[in-house]
Structure formats: structure tokens, C-alpha cells
Amino acid sequence: MKFTAQQIAAQLEGTVEGDPNVEIFQLSKIEDAQKGSLTFLSNPKYTPFIYKTQASVTIVNEDFVAEDNLSTTLVRVSNAYDSFSILLDYYNKVKTLKSGIAKSAVIDPSVQLGKNCFVGNLCCIEENTEIGEDVKIFPQSYIGSNVTIGMGTIVFAGAKILDDSIIGKNCVIHSGAVIGSDGFGFAPQEKGDYKKIPQTGIVVLGDYVDVGANSTIDRATLGVTSVGNGVKLDNQIQIAHNVEIGENTVIAAQTGIAGSSKIGKNCVIGGQVGIAGHLNIGDNVKIQGQSGVISNIKDESVIQGTPAFSYNAYNKSYVYFKNLPNLAKEVNQVIKKLDP
């Protein structure tokens, strides 16, 4: 799909400086852009690239002053970064503007499929599932029985939403994600082996939830594993059975949350964090990457370390952690002097 500089300016309420009819068909970084590309300049550190870029159109701030000749057409806006973000969002929406049912898709006759949906090649949708309007299900995805998917949700290629799961409106389920798989429930037996505990609950995702590639959300043993409105999960995250995550919490990659823990609203959890089971994490908590959480955390806390404790205290303690070998050497020298 092609756009002219004038069309882009109209979309962003900006002004064109250069050829208003020049066309673009791709988005690029300013240092890598070629003819036909649209790019942007907002960080002064990248200013030298604007005089070398081959981009056909560059979005800049209104107050940008060129100090040399430019070969690129400018679109001047109040905030170049925000404007480019708007175009990225629009570009992604255009890419997913698909509808229709592929011939190779297998859809049970009992499935209720909303208007303007897309179901790609080799998808499978089982019985009694309800799919809302404008839902896009990309190739090789699996949707189990009795699943509900709200309007506007996108399920990317190879994702799996298993039986009885409930997905809200305008969610994004990325490739390889598995929602509704069995929780890790095994009871130790007298002979040292383990007996499987049936996982009979469900997973419920709120609206505007993002689930990253290859992330897994386990169904509850009983009841619900719940993810609140606006939650954003990065790639390769494990959410165990009966976990509850409050709205607008964001979690970075490779974090694992053990069974029955409750995470509050508006939390920010770094990558590779481990959270033990049956804990309560308050609202507005920030957990630094690679922390290990083994106790309840109060609202507004900022923590780090394993086991995790106050972020400020951790930073102060780290000064001593890294000097422990020297401190031990000095203590030993003092002991030798004092030893008669």
C-alpha cells in the first residue's frame, strides 16, 4: 500500500516541505532508510542522518532547522515521535485488515462467528465457541471448545486458546502463546511418585490484554486464572494456575508467577522475575529484573534482589556485596594482628 507525503501530512495534521506527491510504501529507521521509505527524526543525536538518509519522507518537529541540503521531503508536526507512533499503529492495523474464511480452516458448525472476521489457513475452531465481530485468527491457530473471544481481538499464527477460556475485547494473542493449558498440579504419593490433580478451572482475560509470543497462562485448578483489563505480557512468560493479575500491570519477558499468587493493579515487573506461590503483591509495585519474590509486598513498593527487598536498600548494600573479598581480607589481617 502506497501513500503520498500530502496524505501523511493530512493524517497527522502536519505541513509538507518538499514534494507533496512523493510516495512511500514502507517504514524505516532514519539511518537505514531507502527510497520509498518513511522515517522520522526526534532525537537530536540522529540529526546527522537526515542529511544522508535516502528516505522519501521524514517526519520532523515543527522547530527543526536544516543546516545543510536535504534530499528527503519533510512533514513538519508538533511532535515527530508521537506522530510516527500513530503511523506505526495505523500501519499495523492495515496489515491485519483481513476478512473471510480460508478453505482449509476447520470450523465446527456450532461455532458462532461474528461479522467481518478472518480465519486463516489450517485454523481449527471447536464446538460451541463464540467469536465476536472483527476478530482476526491467523493461520495454524487452535481455538478449543466453549471458548469466548471478544470483538476486535487478534490471534496471531500458531497461538492456542484451549477449552472454556474467555478472551476479552481488543486483545492481542501473539504467535505460540498457549492460554488455558493445565496447571502444574501433582500430589506426592507414599511410594514417592506423583498423582495428577485434574485442572477443571478456566482462564479469563479482560479487554485490551496483550499476551506475548510463547507465553503460557494455565487454567485454574478450580475457579479462575484471571488477567485484568489492559495487562501487557511480554514474550515467554509463565502464569500459573489461579493467579490473578490486576489491570494495567506490565510484565517483561521470562518472568514466572507461581500458583495462586495475586498481583495488584499498575505494577511494573522486570524480566526474569520469579514470584513464589500464594503471595499478595500490592498495587503500583515495581520489581526490578531478575528478582526473586518470596514474601508479600505492600502497595507502592520498589524492590530488587533475591530474595527481593527495598530497591534503595539493595543499592546501598551492593556497595558492600562487591567489596566482600577485600573486606574479608582486611578482617583477617586485623585478626592476625590481634592474635597473640
Q: How far is the C-alpha of 64 from the C-alpha of 41, rounded, in Å?
A: 9
For 211, phi then psi, to 5°, come to -120, 120
DSSP secondary structure string for all residues of 127-183 = TT-EE-TT-EE-TT-EE-TT-EE-TT-EE-TT-EE-TT-EE-TT-EE-TT-EEEEPP
CA distance 293 to 274: 6
Catalytic residue among 230, 241, 255, 275: 241
Spatial contact of 282 and 262, defined as CB atoms under 8 Å apart? no
DSSP three-state, residue 104: coil
Give the span between the Cα atoms of 288 and 311, in whole angstroms: 8
Nearest to 143 by CA among 132, 156, 120, 159: 159
Look up 241 and say whether it is catalytic: yes
Tell me whether the omega of the peptide bond preceding residue 198 falls within 30 degrees of 0, making it cis: no
β-pairing verdict for 250-251 and 286-287: unpaired
Look at residues 125, 118, 114 and name the one whose alpha carbon lies nearest to residue 101: 118
Cα distances (Å, whole numbers) of residue 340 to 154, 335, 337: 77, 10, 8
Catalytic residues: 241
